[in-house]
Structure 1
């Protein structure tokens, strides 16, 4: 993740330079007041606090080297929520204690603190104060962040996290995914997830807290000039009918002749996922049984764009993509979705 280091002294500057060496960060990623920035080649600020808003927005992690109080005062005006705020850590300028103070789980501050302490060596101690970590119990939001899963409800996540501290919580998974044995401390196998249980998968009908892996490639074909609104509605209705959460989409795939299709490009930007395009030859080479159209084949050279693109886009080094939503036509748009090979690991 993009990381900014912030320091206020010679000792802190020396530690920042060491961290840059250990993690491959640049001196430009280190921010300080003019006195130390000029001396060490860092990015200079008249007042760090005055520029904290931009640093807060532009980085996935902020590492303060100095006192906790300075960090707290500087970031306080910019706090939004645990799902939006960057990871914030504080390290004393001697490098003895690494303290995550914000976004420990979802933002990854706890994991980064442990990594920094490990690389610093010399007895550096990560001071992790979140309850589940302190108790050695499973943390649903930390696991979700590490494994690129969306969280269905932060309210449910808080309820489950509180429950895990005092009792074991049932966990279930989509049929395509096997739960490892043994489970982490705080979890037990469940039958249906329960009202306060955990479910890992893409299905929307499951009860409890859903941790939704972002593993689907959305294959799309469309008529020339189809607007983004039509594509969005076609996708929405298709996923509702299939009972699959659209947040599980990690990319969109189509044929290369759609590379300049404005509606498709706009839709990808709206949902914040990359677009991948394939040639007709690449799509025709995909193995499997697909719903073919002679008209489409005569037009673009392949009889099915959406299913083939979805499968190809979700194929990885371990397995071919698994078609989970077959070709569905709506509003001049054809939609399909395929899942890449993915496994639950704790």
Structure 2
């Protein structure tokens, strides 16, 4: 997380600079030869994953109000008074990480973190904060309330996970045997009415004909996910052969999804560990018997999960980065 700090007075600016020295980020004194508060907030709300206001909460609330959209996408917002006595998260406490950020900032300047989210106030497991700590995308943010509501009412919430979860579950959380019976589920393949938490660990291996358009890739990707019941949100990166590193459609496809894309030579792909689906045609064109599976495994540093699927001149495969979730859910 890289905060953007805004201050309004000389004292506030000194505190912001002190915080930024330990937790780096840009520092701006709004309305003092630089951008106005409105200009700064509009820009940083889109650009940054955390905003830190050193000043009055009222100023921060009025500044961010026109830009708030969803707890799933809004950045973390924390306010500190200019003496550094209190650090108050006011937006995206769990999913955005504002609660954790307030604790970090408090440790740097001796402030008291003022955490007001209900689960934290009651010392109860926060499923959305847990999701963030486990590198998960929350597919249905509106369902967080149902899980937290059960726990706050003293009831139990059931969990299903396709990944091992070692250790004892938090108080009130009980494992269940099927995804359909779960209140929340840790999975790449969401089904039923649970709150689905999707680990962002997938690497998409891509093979395509020369000149393949972004529209063709998007259609093939949608089909790939639908056929396998895969949550697109699990993908965090893509990979292919270096022959495709200048393919405009592929580059635009990855940019549209904000995926870093890696390219490998035929020799590198050939050396990838594992067993792959060979193709004599692909071998004759590229010099290696399989592109998408091998590229995915190399970029992920983990096993192949879905073997190649071909269609419309595109092949996709999915490999997974190493992943070991646990029950940590608070900042340590």
Bin for the TM-score computed over the shorter chain: over 0.9
1:159 is aligned to 146
**Selected match of 1:130 from 106, 117, 121:** 117
CA drift at 1:199: 0.7
Structure 2 unpaired stretches of 5+: none
Question: Structure 2: how far apart are the matches of 1:343 and 1:6?
Answer: 37
Answer yes or no: is 1:141 the counterpart of 2:128: yes
CA drift at 1:306: 0.9
Map residues 93-104 of structure 1 onto 2, 5 A cutoff.
93-104=82-93
1:41 is aligned to none
**Selected match of 2:59 from 70, 78, 82:** 70
CA drift at 1:227: 1.7
Map residues 77-88 of structure 1 onto 2, 5 A cutoff.
77-88=66-77
1:32 is aligned to 30
CA displacement, residues 295-327 of structure 1 (integer Å, 9 cap, x when unaligned)? 211211100001111111110xxxxx2111111
Question: Structure 2: how far apart are the matches of 1:7 and 1:204?
Answer: 43
Structure 1 unpaired stretches of 5+: 38-43, 316-320
Answer yes or no: is 1:171 the counterpart of 2:162: no
Any runs of at least 4 consecutive aligned residues in structure 1 with deviations exceeding 6 A, and if so which? Answer: none
Q: Secondary structure at the match of 1:182?
A: coil
Question: Structure 1: how far apart are the matches of 2:173 and 2:9?
Answer: 45
**Selected match of 1:239 from 210, 225, 238:** 225
Q: Secondary structure at the match of 2:206?
A: strand
2:304 is aligned to 323
2:205 is aligned to 219
CA displacement, residues 192-247 of structure 1 (integer Å, 9 cap, x when unaligned)? 24556111010123541110001111111111112222222222212222222121
1:159 and 1:196 in contact (8 A); partners too: no
Question: Structure 1: how far apart are the matches of 2:281 and 2:66?
Answer: 59
Give the aligned length. 326
CA drift at 1:89: 1.0
RMSD (CA atoms): 1.7
Question: Structure 2: how far apart are the matches of 1:170 and 1:313?
Answer: 34
1:283 and 1:305 in contact (8 A); partners too: yes
1:199 and 1:206 in contact (8 A); partners too: no
CA distance 1:69–1:275, shift in 2 (3 Å):
same
CA drift at 1:104: 0.7
1:253 and 1:277 in contact (8 A); partners too: yes
Question: Structure 1: how far apart are the matches of 2:255 and 2:14?
Answer: 41
CA drift at 1:292: 0.7
Question: Structure 2: how far apart are the matches of 1:106 and 1:134?
Answer: 17
Question: Structure 2: how far apart are the matches of 1:258 and 1:49?
Answer: 43
1:332 is aligned to 313
1:2 is aligned to 2
1:40 is aligned to none
Q: Which has the higher contact order (CA 8 A, sep 6+)?
A: 2
CA displacement, residues 83-127 of structure 1 (integer Å, 9 cap, x when unaligned)? 222211111111111000111111111000011111223xx2100
Question: Structure 1: how far apart are the matches of 2:208 and 2:191?
Answer: 29
After TM superposition, the score normalised by the length of structure 1 is 0.89
2:16 and 2:54 in contact (8 A); partners too: yes
